[in-house]
Amino acid sequence: MDDSLRFAMSWDAFLKCIDELKSFSDELNDEWVLHKLHDGENGAYLTKKVRRQTFSQIDGGLISFEENLLVDESVPVNGDVTTHEYHVVYSSSYACPVLCLNIWRSNGSLLTIEECWVKFSFSSDDKYNTLTQMEHPVLMKPFITLHPCKTAELIGTFGNSKNIVVSWLSTVGPVIGLNMLTDYARLTY
């Protein structure tokens, strides 16, 4: 690894980035929620819930795709529905942002790490080092997590981005089904 690309993000820089992301999310009605528990390190994190319906058969075909739905539990839907809850947290150990998620089926049961590997098409070569189960640094509960070991190296490549968290989320989020609106790019320049 080239040490010139290694990047350490401070807690204050992380907090500034997620505050900006949350404010812009409000303008876009994109439903990110900022949880502020206290003023100290690891006292805040972002969450977003996305409800998805998977269709396995259409007109007798065997195609499969997912469609984002509004998060309204009172609205009945047909097909396999899952709720994806994404958390953007700060890792003091790695000095970088971390993306965590849990996925619930409509019956309330959580997808296992093995089911997530299949869902997001992780190959046997990279699945253990990329998508893992770790303790949420704030909630202290197990979450499926994009492993932060390469994050510092990755965010070091974002150069002059004015919001490293948005640049990073736009890059790694799609790996686990989190697609950022292109409007967020305005926060990065």
Question: Residues 66, 56: contact at Cβ < 8 Å?
Answer: no
Question: Which H or E element spans position 68?
Answer: strand 65-69
Residue 6: the pLDDT is 61
CB 61 within 8 A of CB 48: no
Say what the pLDDT of residue 67 is: 52
Q: What is the pLDDT of residue 31?
A: 96
Q: To which H or E segment does residue 91 belong?
A: strand 80-91
Candidate from 70-74, 113-117, 170-174 with smallest mean pLDDT: 70-74
- Catalytic positions: 149
pLDDT for residue 1: 44
Residue 56's φ and ψ, nearest 5 degrees, are -95, -30
Q: How far apart are CA 181 and CA 28, in angstroms?
A: 9
> In this predicted structure, what is the pLDDT of residue 68?
56
Count of all residues that appear for the chain in the document: 189
Higher pLDDT, 156 or 166: 166
Helix boundaries (H) for 29-146: 113-119, 127-130
CATH class of residue range 3-180? alpha beta
A 10 A CB-CB count for 138 gives: 17
Write down the mean pLDDT value for the chain.
87
Provide the pLDDT for residue 79.
Answer: 65
Bridge partners (DSSP) listed for residue 45? 35
Mean pLDDT for 17-45 is 95
- Evaluate whether 176 touches 131 at the Cβ level (below 8 Å): yes
Domain boundaries, the chain: 3-180
Average the pLDDT over each of 34-43, 56-65, 159-168 and give the range with the smallest value: 56-65
How much of the chain, in percent, has pLDDT values that exceed 90? 65
Which pLDDT band, with edges at 50, 70 and 90, does 7 fall under?
A: confident
150 confidence band (pLDDT: 50, 70, 90): confident
d(CA 162, CA 185): 10
More confident residue, 128 or 65: 128
> What are the pLDDT digits (tens) for 75-109?
555 568 999 999 999 999 999 999 999 999 999 99
**Please, which pLDDT band fits residue 27 given cuts at 50, 70 and 90?**
very high
Please tell me the number of Cα atoms within 13 Å of 5 on its side-chain side: 9
